[in-house]
Amino acid sequence: MTTSNLVLVGFMGTGKSTVGKKLAERLGWQFQDSDAVLEDEQQTSIADLFRQYGEAHFRTLESKTLESLLAQRGQIVATGGGAVLAEENRACMLRNGFVVALKASPETIIHRVSADINRPLLQGNLEERVHTLLEQRKSAYDFAHAMIDTTELTTDQIVDLIIQQANL
């Protein structure tokens, strides 16, 4: 398989954006954050989209953005944590790239996202929400070509592993 794109999936706080930027830099590819692209297209934040229109509307927009992004080539695409929930998104990712799932321990995720107030799914008790969502999504990332636990690794180590596993 010739890798047309590298697609990073995983729960929030697993390192998709940080790793994606470094990977793009290393490979000379373009980095795309699907959430940031969606926000640019909609001229509003994801938190506001959730607040105004609800999660279902946001997920529809997310699918359209992902499909449009993955029609291009030579990119690192970091997806939103919940993008994998829709079967059509998983199929699109597998069709258009090498999919790498990043994971991390709940404690690591809580530490990494604790200062971010712009995550609509984490409103309320942060620890409880992270554990609940991780449980709900525990097999959501199993479709990926490769899985890497980022808990104990540096960004450079993760990038090296992705390049090795994608045969780049």
Closest CA to 80 of 98, 58, 106: 58
Is position 14 annotated in a ligand binding site? yes
Is position 15 annotated in a ligand binding site? yes
Is position 138 annotated in a ligand binding site? no
Phi-psi region of 128 (alpha: psi -120 to 50; beta: other; left: phi over 0): alpha
Is position 17 annotated in a ligand binding site? yes
Is position 59 annotated in a ligand binding site? yes
Q: Any alpha helices (H) in 43-140, and if so which ranges?
A: 46-53, 55-70, 87-95, 106-113, 126-136
Q: If you search the block for the tokens 């890497």, which residue do you land on?
A: 148
Is position 16 annotated in a ligand binding site? yes
Is position 35 annotated in a ligand binding site? yes
Q: Which residues are documented as binding site?
A: 13-18, 35, 59, 81, 119, 137
Q: Which residues are documented as binding site for ATP?
A: 13-18, 119
Q: Which residues are documented as binding site for substrate?
A: 35, 59, 81, 137
Q: Which residues are documented as binding site for Mg(2+)?
A: 17
